[in-house]
Amino acid sequence: MGALLHPFARPAATDFVRMVRGSGAVVWDDQGKRYVDGLASLWYCNVGHARAEIAEAVAQQMQVLETYHCFERFSNAPAEELAERLAALAPVPGSRVFLTSGGSEAVDTALKLSRSAHAQAGQPERTLVVSRTPSYHGVTYGAMTLTGLPLNRKDFGPGIGDVVQVDKDDLDAVRQVFETNPGRVAAVFAEPVVGAGGVWPPAPGYLQGLRELCDVHGAHLVLDEVICGFGRLGTLFAGTHFGVAADITTFAKGVTSGYVPLGGALVAPSVHAPLSADPGFVLRHGYTYSGHGAAAVAALACLDITEREGLVDRATAIGRRLEPQLRALLDDGLVTDVRGVGALWAVSVPDPVAVRDRMLDDGVILRPIAPATLAICPPLVIGDDDLDAIAAALRRAL
Ligand SMILES: Cc1ncc(COP(=O)(O)O)c(C=O)c1O
């Protein structure tokens, strides 16, 4: 066994596919085998692999100043430039930006900012948080507790307190939490399209319903866009796709396409205004790498590419190309369900690991996710020929 303990893997495992090289939507392993990357690595590589432009921008920054922390009175220029750019793109005008190293930290940040903003606004008793099943929000104790996948909590002991879970499309259940806990709910967390929990688009009107309930009962709506953000659904942010404005939007993955780890939260005035109302208040939250300069430069380069190459619109075109080919599998009885939005899709099959393994042999990577689901989430730079290759390999494997 090697020294590397792999995440979400059997610690006893010894057989790994070792990637050594990439280009666009394609990667190669250490045996020289070529794969179409149908999951953008782990749902993140929107701009495609091994782009010199990003590497050069990051290298240039590192040769001047790799980063400098942003705690207390300190700051660095790339972090500020990225925050300004993201704030200008944010769905809610006047938003500010908190930066982290990844998605779980972004979710914990949203949880803490929400509770803290309520406390600063004179409602410290608002600590209850509502999340959904199934859902995936990450693995820190906060994000793990919010996650609606029971297996992910097994053997890890108690999670954080004051979290209530409801079924993903059940608005009445959320209403009931509000009504039985008046003045106690801080926030409702939802992925616009559930990602790792099964790729479930919301029921029509569901997210608008959540927004209305949060407005009526004085709670924050947090949209976890760690997968959906940065163009995946055909709009830069998924809230825009569904016509819903969040108080906090978490992001990671596509913001840097994974070139350097980065995540964060877009924080609307409803949350950041109470935090700055008392000029003496100190927000005692932050990670050493909150506002990492080289990561911010990578994000700026990814945004440049996303805009220049029209990748947000490309997500819609990917869906248009892929959906009929997936629906044909359904018509032919090879899969039992097809669902998705933009460039985020899934099919239901009885044994997704076996299908994945056959496709891997065939040079296409998809991801089996619970239960009985294969997820498709290609880089947004993927060409039509490689999209067709994914669909054809899936058909062969089935
Ligand atoms: C919606 C969502 N939130 C949070 C996370 C956690 O992000 P990370 O793995 O970067 O901590 C993920 C990861 O897949 C995710 O899909």
Can you give the length of the chain in residues? 398
In this structure, the residue with its CA closest to atom 3 of ligand 1 is 137
Tens-place pLDDT, residues 240-264: 999 999 999 999 999 999 999 999 9
Residue 251 CB less than 6 A away from ligand 1: no
pTM for the full model? Answer: 0.98
Query: For residue 371, what pLDDT is reported?
Result: 80
Angle between helices 293-308 and 52-64 (to 10 degrees): 150
Q: Which CATH number fits domain 54-307: 3.60.150.10, 3.40.1410.10, 3.40.640.10, 1.10.150.120?
A: 3.40.640.10
Query: For residue 322, what pLDDT is reported?
Result: 98
CATH of region 19-51+309-397: 3.90.1150.10
Query: For residue 355, what pLDDT is reported?
Result: 98
Can you give the residue ranges of every domain in the chain?
A: 19-51+309-397, 54-307
Helix, strand, coil share of the chain (percent; to 5): 40, 20, 40
Q: How far apart are the CA of 80 and the centre of ligand 1, in A?
A: 24
Residue 367 CB less than 6 A away from ligand 1: no
Tens-place pLDDT, residues 184-215: 999 999 999 999 999 999 999 999 999 999 99
Residue 138 CB less than 6 A away from ligand 1: yes
Ligand 1 atom closest to Cα of 252? 10
Tens-place pLDDT, residues 71-114: 999 999 999 999 999 999 999 999 999 999 999 999 999 999 99
Residue 110 CB less than 6 A away from ligand 1: no
User: Is 124 buried (19+), middle (13-18) or exposed (0-12) by CB count in 10 A?
Assistant: exposed
Calculate mean pLDDT across residues 215-236: 98
Query: For residue 345, what pLDDT is reported?
Result: 98
Query: Residue 115's pLDDT band (boundaries 50, 70, 90)?
Result: very high
Query: For residue 79, what pLDDT is reported?
Result: 98
In this structure, the residue with its CA closest to atom 4 of ligand 1 is 137
Say how far apart CA 206 and CA 203 lie, in whole Å.
Answer: 5
Query: For residue 214, what pLDDT is reported?
Result: 98
Calculate mean pLDDT across residues 44-59: 98
Residue 107 CB less than 6 A away from ligand 1: yes
Residue 142 CB less than 6 A away from ligand 1: no
**Beta-ladder partners of 220:** 187
CA angle 273, 275, 277 (to 5 degrees): 65
Tens-place pLDDT, residues 260-297: 999 999 999 999 999 999 999 999 999 999 999 999 99
The sign of the dihedral angle between the CA atoms of 234, 138, 191, 354 is positive
- Strand-pair category, 26-29 with 34-37: antiparallel
Q: Which of 43, 100, 107, 109 to mutate to test the pocket of ligand 1 (most atoms within 8 A of CB)?
A: 107
Q: Do domains 19-51+309-397 and 54-307 have the same CATH topology?
A: no
Give percent above pLDDT 90 in the chain: 99
Q: Which residue has the tokens 């906060």?
A: 142
Say how far apart CA 89 and CA 87 lie, in whole Å.
Answer: 5
Calculate mean pLDDT across residues 209-235: 98
Q: Which of 146, 223, 226, 228 to mutate to test the pocket of ligand 1 (most atoms within 8 A of CB)?
A: 226
Measuring CA to CA, which residue among 90, 145, 84 is closest to residue 291? Answer: 84
Q: How far apart are the CA of 136 and the centre of ligand 1, in A?
A: 7
Residue 53: phi and psi, rounded to 5, are: -55, -40
Tens-place pLDDT, residues 143-189: 999 999 999 999 999 999 999 999 999 999 999 999 999 999 999 99
Query: For residue 370, what pLDDT is reported?
Result: 78
Residue 191 CB less than 6 A away from ligand 1: yes
Residue 134 CB less than 6 A away from ligand 1: no
Give 144-152 contacts, CB < 8 A, sequence gap 24+.
146/107, 146/111, 146/189, 147/197, 148/197, 149/196, 149/197, 149/370, 151/370
* Contact yes or no for 149/136 (Cβ under 8 A): yes
Say how far apart CA 296 and CA 240 lie, in whole Å.
Answer: 24
Query: For residue 368, what pLDDT is reported?
Result: 98
Say how far apart CA 229 and CA 147 lie, in whole Å.
Answer: 18
For the chain, counts of helices (H) and of strands (E): 13, 15
Angle between helices 311-331 and 384-397 (to 10 degrees): 30
User: Is 231 buried (19+), middle (13-18) or exposed (0-12) by CB count in 10 A?
Assistant: buried
Residue 136 CB less than 6 A away from ligand 1: yes
Tens-place pLDDT, residues 314-372: 999 999 999 999 999 999 999 999 999 999 999 999 999 999 999 999 999 999 997 89
Say how far apart CA 302 and CA 157 lie, in whole Å.
Answer: 39
Q: How far apart are the CA of 23 and the centre of ligand 1, in A?
A: 24
Q: Which residue has the tokens 């891997």?
A: 360
Residue 196 CB less than 6 A away from ligand 1: yes
